[in-house]
Structure 1
Amino acid sequence: MMKTWDERVDEVWAEASGDEVGDDTIARIDALAAERGVDDARAQFERGGARDSAGRPAEAVELYRHALALGLDEEHRPQCVIQLASSLRNLGEFDDALSVIRVEEELSADGPYRDAVATVHALILASSGRPAQGLSVALLALVPHLPRYHRSMTAYAHEIAELDG
């Protein structure tokens, strides 16, 4: 039985894990993406991910933006935004990264990627010279996972963010 497109993409990523992602992985992902064409959001997202993993964030950003403009499903949109914001952070484009991740924070508030979104948000803040605000975002993401102390830890998280003021 022939494997689905998703299964073949997953196979490339599984074989690339642990290795330095390079031109070979990019070529394999690009070949799979070509089957779906330049107007396929998922194909462009995967192409961006390959370049991102190979340490080519500027190329990844362009492809992630294209994928988002084409429209991704609820599973892949948050992943794409997380990876886009992370790449923008790596490029030192902190304001752009923050605006992208803050929009996703609202969209993913109840979704499975909310903690990953918060993690990237915290990293962007820390990298942009606002580590206390970053810590605050990270702590607020942890609060729902605590067995108790929700009220006090939420208050402390808001308090600590003021240290960057």
Structure 2
Amino acid sequence: MTAAAPRTAAAPGADWERRNVALWAAVEDFAEEDFRAAIDAQAGELPEGDGTALFERAAAWDSTGHSDLAVPLYQAALDAGVPGERRRRAVIQMASSLRNLGRPEESVALLTAEREQGHDHLDDAVAAVLALALTDVGRAREAVSVAVGALAPHLPRYQRSMANYARLIAEPGQEQSPSS
């Protein structure tokens, strides 16, 4: 018996994506149950077990206050090979949900690994959720370091100083006056 080739997740078509964006833009216009039903119907247009469909369902549950139901769907989306940016969003959103469920250690582990996966426009979101989770596990100095490090590149001045402070604050006993 030969092993089946791993399933490659295909991204949905442009029309599907356009309708998905429109649904999310109108989330506030729906009752929670109606929004989840609309996302579920649209996700149902994709193949059974599709990572994108699982991710969208997870996000709908999460956005309507049901982190407990979202986490298994995020994990299923990741296991199914959710493609593109949604993979990173699934990690960030699952880590946030885990934190909300009182499981910050799992959140820290996920996001610490995610920081090693490369860099893109979601880096600051990874850092923000990681800083919150680090605070929850009693690592406040490291949390401040992560948050200031993420903020530093966006400042109109003092980027180098703030980046140095961010690095030094996580290293107790280091001199705390980097050159500006």
CA RMSD of aligned residues (A): 2.0
Query: Is the 8 Å Cα contact of residues 42 and 72 (structure 1) preserved in structure 2?
Result: yes
- SS of 1:73 mapped into structure 2: coil
Per-residue deviation, 1:65 = 0.5
Describe the superposition over 1:61-113 as per-residue Cα deviations: whole angstroms up to 9, x where unpaired. Answer: 0000000111122321111111011001100111111111112111142x111
| Matched-pair identity in % | 45
Which residue number corresponds to residue 149 of structure 2?
Answer: 140
**What is the rounded CA distance, in whole Å, between the counterparts of 1:139 and 1:7 in structure 2?**
36
* Ranges of 4+ aligned residues in structure 1 off by more than 4 Å: none
What's the counterpart of residue 131 of structure 1? Answer: 140
Does structure 1 residue 70 correspond to structure 2 residue 42?
no
Aligned partners of 1:21 and 1:54 also within 8 Å: no
Aligned match of 2:66 in 56, 73, 76?
56
State TM-score, norm by structure 1. 0.86
Residue ranges of structure 1 left out of the alignment (5+ in a row): none
TM-score by length of 2: 0.79
User: Quick check: which has more Rg, 1 or 2?
Assistant: 2
Gaps of 5+ in 2: 1-13, 173-180
Is the contact made by 1:21 and 1:53 (CA closer than 8 Å) also made in structure 2?
no
Aligned residues: 159
**Cα separation, 1, equivalents of 2:61 and 2:113:** 24
Moved more, 82-91 or 95-104: 95-104
Query: Corresponding residue for 1:5?
Result: 16
- Residue number among 105, 114, 122 corresponding to 1:95 in the alignment: 105
Moved more, 120-129 or 85-94: 120-129
Check the 8 A contact 2:51/2:83 in 1, yes or no: no
Q: Which residue of 49, 52, 62 corresponds with 1:39?
A: 49
What pairs with 1:108-119 in structure 2 (closer than 5 Å)?
A: 108-109=118-119, 111-119=120-128
